[in-house]
């Protein structure tokens, strides 16, 4: 930390105990925007006891296969607080996302991403955009559980839990109530994903009943996204499952003026991580062009959340005043309304020069602490669970769906109590009575249902799988079909 703007020696002597914090500059533009942010924090009198760690691509390249080493974990165990620059994640292969690992390992279930247009100071087609995106942070397709099943088909598991959903929805409503927001929206795709997104929507409806003063709406995510992009002013706070929240918070930040303007808080019961919403921007790394505002806004939220609201407010006021004065980085520079185009460090100097000044047009938003984290939801009582059948997936490419049905039925005829009910390919029914136009891959789901008066136990399934394997149809995946308190816990095949 020698020479670092936040080295302990540089801190102003006050009675406040410095806040232990882990700082990870990150990759790409990360070190530049972190340097700018830390310079502003130090000048504003933030009381921090920083521990700087290397994580991400730079850690990976120096031999740490997961991108985050023991030293970084040890620091996080001590501080439970991370201010992080963006991290480069390899696409389509390589090490897993360090961001996702951090959020999930530390139990940071809520990702809060405030986005607002700073019109007319920052050019935007949507002057009325002012929305908080609440993104579920641990579940959904980000479980990262992927498999190749056949030559032609790979899968990614989408996991949504009731406790995880209850917690994020409740926190979203708490954030709305604390901010005086009177309308909360939720987007899902529960017309297609009836069980997973259906659960998220159902829990949203249940929890909204606990906040009668807040109006609520649910939109299918496609029209919700279109309206957010076209008429963002109609939304105030949106609660979203992980993937939709990731995508739509970038959309909201970008149409507010720049993806470089938004910060985010990742909140959990045992720690917190603050970061910009954008990535490592390798296209402008090392050029002193990046806007440090996203990371600075995250740092303002971090200070507010950790008992230094006055310092947070001082920085937020100076940051807004800098933007109002037309001191802009290239991403938001417009010749007709900006005064001067500055680099990353020049922007930091301009903010530092305005510490103690107030904005003239915008109110402060980020320097309020977020609400307390709700306790983990109560566990559900165990349901009465009964089996209806089993889906066995097979890798096969030797003929038509009728050929497969014949082969499966002949192999399975000795398994009592189970009969082949339907075969699907990529979810669409192809047997019985499939259509010749349906394109089939080498990945087939054979659904076996209990025959009348038979009783099925999970122990029967291995026998069926063995019979199929002996007939040259080894199962690549099995899903039991259960009822929970009498309600089927599985969807019908498309076209069934």
Interface residue with ligand NAD, options 50, 294, 343, 389 (CB under 6 A): 294
Of residues 25 through 54, those in contact with ligand NAD by CB under 6 A are: 29
Q: Which among 248, 347, 228, 329 has a CA at the least distance from the CA of 281?
A: 329
Q: From 119-127, 195-203, 279-287, 412-420, give the range in contact with ligand NAD by CB under 6 A.
A: 279-287
Closer to ligand NAD at the Cβ: 172 or 260?
Answer: 260
Number of residues that bind ligand NAD (CB under 6 A): 20
Q: Which stretch binds ligand NAD (CB under 6 A): 128-136, 290-298, 372-380, 390-398?
A: 290-298
| Angle at 327 (CA atoms; ends 326, 329), nearest 5 degrees | 120
- Alpha carbons 62 and 24: distance in angstroms, whole number: 15
Q: Is 58 in the site for ligand NAD (CB under 6 A)?
A: no
Contact yes or no for 70/90 (Cβ under 8 A): no
- Kindly tell me which of 84 and 167 has the beta carbon lying closer to ligand NAD: 84
47, 185, 291, 322: which one contacts ligand NAD (CB under 6 A)? 291
Report the sign of the C-alpha dihedral through residues 218, 219, 220, 221, in that order. negative
281 near ligand NAD (CB under 6 A):
yes
Looking up tokens 């109002």 gives 324
Could you say whether residue 331 binds ligand NAD (CB under 6 A)? yes
**Which of 477, 419, 472, 426 is CA-nearest to residue 449?**
419
Q: For ligand NAD, give the closer residue by CB, 144 or 432.
A: 144
Any bridge partners for residue 130, and if so which? 116
74 to 133, contacts with ligand NAD by CB under 6 A? 86-89, 99
Which of the stretches 152-160, 199-207, 277-285, 381-389 binds ligand NAD when contact is defined by CB under 6 A?
Answer: 277-285
The Cβ of residue 470 has, within 10 Å, a number of other Cβ atoms equal to 10
**Furthest-apart CA pair in the chain: how many Å?**
83
Instruction: Tell me whether residue 30 or residue 359 sits nearer to ligand NAD (CB atom).
Output: 30
Considering only 6, 207, 259, 422, the residue that binds ligand NAD (CB under 6 A) is: 259
Cβ neighbors of 476 (< 8 A, separation 6 or more) are 149, 150, 393, 394, 395, 443
Going along 11-104, which residue ranges are E strands?
Answer: 19-24, 48-52, 81-84
Nearest approach in angstroms of CB 276 to ligand NAD is 6
The single residue listed with the structure tokens 């830390």 is: 38
Q: Return the CA Rg of the chain.
A: 27
* x-or-dash string of contact with ligand NAD, 444-463, rule CB under 6 A: --------------------
Element containing residue 174 per DSSP (H, E)? helix 162-178
List residues binding ligand NAD (CB under 6 A). Answer: 29, 86-89, 99, 259-260, 275, 278-284, 290-291, 294, 331
């Amino acid at each position: 930390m020698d020479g670092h703007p936040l080295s302990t020696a540089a801190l102003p002597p006050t009675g406040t105990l410095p806040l232990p914090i882990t700082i990870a500059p990150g990759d790409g533009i990360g070190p530049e925007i972190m340097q700018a942010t830390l310079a502003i924090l130090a000048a504003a009198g933030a009381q921090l006891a920083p521990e700087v760690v290397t994580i991400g691509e730079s850690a990976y390249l120096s031999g740490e296969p997961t991108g985050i080493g023991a030293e970084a974990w040890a620091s996080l165990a001590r501080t439970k607080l991370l201010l992080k620059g963006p991290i480069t994640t390899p696409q389509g292969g390589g090490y897993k996302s360090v961001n996702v690992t951090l959020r999930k390992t530390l139990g940071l279930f809520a990702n809060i991403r405030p986005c607002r247009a700073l019109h007319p100071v920052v050019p935007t087609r949507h002057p009325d955009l002012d929305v908080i995106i609440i993104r579920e942070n641990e579940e959904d397709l980000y479980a990262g559980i992927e498999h190749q099943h056949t030559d032609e088909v790979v899968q990614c598991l989408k996991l949504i839990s009731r406790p995880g959903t209850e917690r994020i929805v409740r926190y979203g409503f708490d954030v709305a109530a604390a901010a005086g927001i009177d309308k909360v929206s939720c987007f899902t795709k529960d017309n297609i994903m009836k069980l997973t997104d259906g659960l998220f929507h159902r829990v949203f409806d249940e929890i909204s009943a606990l906040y009668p003063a807040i109006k609520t709406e649910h939109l299918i995510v496609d029209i919700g996204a279109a309206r957010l992009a076209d008429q963002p002013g109609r939304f105030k706070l949106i609660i979203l499952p992980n993937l939709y929240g990731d995508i739509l918070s970038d959309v909201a930040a970008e149409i507010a003026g720049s993806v470089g303007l938004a910060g985010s808080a990742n909140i959990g019961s045992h720690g917190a991580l603050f970061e910009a919403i954008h990535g490592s921007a390798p296209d402008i790394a090392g050029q002193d062009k990046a806007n440090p505002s996203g990371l600075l806004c995250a740092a303002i939220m971090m200070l507010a959340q950790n008992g230094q609201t006055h310092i947070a407010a001082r920085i937020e006021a100076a940051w807004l005043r800098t933007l109002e004065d037309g001191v802009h980085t290239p991403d938001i520079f417009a010749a007709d309304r900006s005064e001067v185009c500055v680099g990353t460090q020049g922007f930091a100097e301009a903010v530092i020069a305005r510490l103690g000044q107030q904005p003239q047009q915008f109110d402060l938003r980020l320097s309020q602490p977020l609400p307390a984290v709700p306790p983990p939801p109560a566990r559900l009582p165990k349901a009465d669970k009964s089996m209806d059948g089993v889906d066995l997936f097979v890798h096969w490419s030797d003929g038509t769906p009728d050929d497969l049905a014949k082969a499966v039925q002949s192999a399975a005829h000795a398994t009592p109590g189970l009969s082949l009910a339907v075969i699907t390919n990529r979810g669409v029914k192809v047997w019985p009575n499939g259509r010749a136009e349906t394109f089939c891959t080498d990945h087939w789901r054979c659904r076996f249902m209990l025959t009348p008066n038979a009783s099925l136990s999970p122990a029967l399934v291995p026998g069926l799988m063995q019979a199929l394997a002996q007939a040259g149809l080894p199962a690549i995946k099995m899903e039991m079909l259960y009822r929970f308190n009498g309600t089927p816990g599985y969807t019908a095949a498309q076209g069934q």
